[in-house]
């Protein structure tokens, strides 16, 4: 069942979203060669709690950390640890916050120092595909319009969307209906109504789309070892258009 949110609920989610956005902003300043991924986790958890939130991922189905840090061929759900960030890597940061009963979820990827032009292009395309999807998240459109806009943008640049993982409804739970795939056909799927709130999160690979799970049971990696990027916003459909809740 798809639960539409009231304006009051969207205001609450805006507060959770603000914390997600500010946490991601803070982390962006901290990513640098020599930094351990668990240091980013520690900083994020402290920041989220100082703002009155709870890190939504911690303990979720046994997930052991507050954020996800996924590097290079890691698509999503990388577990922070002793790993040290190096020049030339692509680092993806994913943050979820629960505050006063409502969740928000956001992510971005960045290059650490210099990367090959095709990797820079991958990052630009993945981010643009999120903004294309967001722009179709309008009352009266269908979810397939969002999905197909993302897929089109990615494939026109010769990259691949991940099909095994999807965006999702979000609100009083981190994952709710509906699923929001990053591929599909325009004009199909659920009609977008005021109060629908979803996390749109294209995962885009430089090579092929197939992924697999590492033996740690969490980390999703590309099958072909190619670099991957991930951008995510939580967004509410309103009569005035898409309202991005995880924007700083």
Residues that bind ligand MF3 (CB under 6 A): 57, 60-61, 63, 68, 77, 94, 96, 105, 199
Contacts of 45 (CB under 8 A, 6+ apart): 55, 58, 66, 67
Structure tokens at 120: 């820079």
Using the minimum distance from each CB to ligand MF3, give the nearer residue, 115 or 162: 162
Report the nearest approach of Co ion to the CB of residue 12 (Å). 18
Residue 187 near residue 145 (C-beta atoms within 8 A)? yes
| Residue the block writes with tokens 């294209």 | 202
Residues in region 193-212 near Co ion by CB under 5 A = 199, 201
Considering the complex, state which of residue 48 and residue 115 has its C-beta at the smaller distance from ligand MF3: 48
Please report the sign of the dihedral spanned by the C-alpha atoms of residue 35, residue 41, residue 45, residue 47.
positive
Q: Tell me the closest approach of the beta carbon of residue 191 to ligand MF3, in angstroms.
A: 23
Note whether 105 binds Co ion by CB under 5 A. Answer: yes
Q: Identify which of residues 60 and 188 has a Cβ nearer to Co ion in the complex.
A: 60
Q: Which is nearer to Co ion, 119 or 170 (CB)?
A: 170
- Classified as helix, coil or strand, 102 is strand
Structure tokens of 156? 């026109």
Sole window of 29-37, 100-108, 183-191, 217-225 interacting with Co ion (rule: CB under 5 A): 100-108
Whether residue 167 contacts residue 179, with contact meaning beta carbons closer than 8 Å, is answered with: yes
> Least distance to Co ion from the beta carbon of 206, Å?
21
- Shortest reach from residue 28's CB to Co ion, in Å: 18
- Could you tell me which residues come within 8 angstroms of residue 135 by beta carbon, excluding any fewer than 6 positions away? 149, 242
Structure-derived torsion over alpha carbons of residues 127, 19, 142, 222, reported in degrees to the nearest 10: 40
Tokens standing for residue 55: 């890190």
Which residue stretch of 76-84, 102-110, 143-151, 189-197 sits at the interface with Co ion (rule: CB under 5 A)?
102-110
Q: Residue 96 binds what, of ligand MF3, Co ion, none (CB under 5 to 8 Å, by partner type)?
A: ligand MF3
CB of 151 to Co ion, least distance (A): 18
Task: Tell the smallest beta-carbon distance from residue 116 to ligand MF3 (Å).
Answer: 27
**Nearest approach, Cβ of residue 139 and Co ion (Å):** 22
Cβ atoms within 10 Å, residue 5? 21
Cβ proximity of 28 and 115 under 8 Å: no
Give residue number: closest CB to ligand MF3.
57
Of the pair 115, 174, the CB lying nearest Co ion is at 174
Query: Measured at the alpha carbon of residue 13, what is the angle toward residues 101 and 42, in degrees to the nearest 5?
Result: 75
Of 71 and 235, CB closest to Co ion: 235
Give the interface with Co ion as residue ranges (CB under 5 A). Answer: 105, 199, 201
């Amino acid at each position: 069942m798809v639960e539409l949110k009231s304006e009051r609920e969207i205001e609450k989610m805006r507060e959770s979203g603000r914390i997600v956005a500010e946490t991601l902003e803070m982390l962006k300043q901290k990513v640098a060669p020599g930094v351990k991924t668990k240091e980013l986790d520690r900083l994020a958890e402290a920041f989220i709690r100082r703002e009155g939130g709870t890190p939504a991922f911690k303990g979720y189905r046994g997930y052991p950390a507050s954020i996800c840090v996924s590097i290079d061929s890691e698509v999503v759900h990388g577990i922070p640890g002793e790993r040290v960030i190096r020049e030339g890597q692509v680092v993806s940061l994913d943050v979820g916050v629960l505050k006063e009963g409502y969740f928000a979820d956001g992510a971005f990827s960045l290059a650490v120092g210099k990367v090959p032009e095709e990797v820079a292009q991958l990052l630009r395309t993945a981010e643009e595909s999120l903004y294309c999807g967001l722009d179709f998240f309008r009352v009266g459109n269908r979810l397939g319009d969002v999905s197909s806009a993302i897929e089109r943008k990615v494939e026109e640049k010769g990259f691949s969307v991940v099909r095994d993982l999807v965006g999702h409804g979000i609100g009083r739970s981190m994952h709710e209906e509906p699923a929001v795939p990053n591929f599909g056909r325009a004009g199909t799927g659920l009609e977008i109504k005021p109060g629908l709130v979803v996390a749109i999160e294209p995962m885009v690979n430089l090579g092929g789309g197939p992924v697999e799970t590492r033996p740690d049971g969490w980390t999703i990696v590309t099958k072909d070892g190619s670099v991957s990027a991930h951008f995510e916003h939580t967004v509410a459909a309103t009569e005035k258009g898409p309202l991005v809740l995880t924007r700083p």
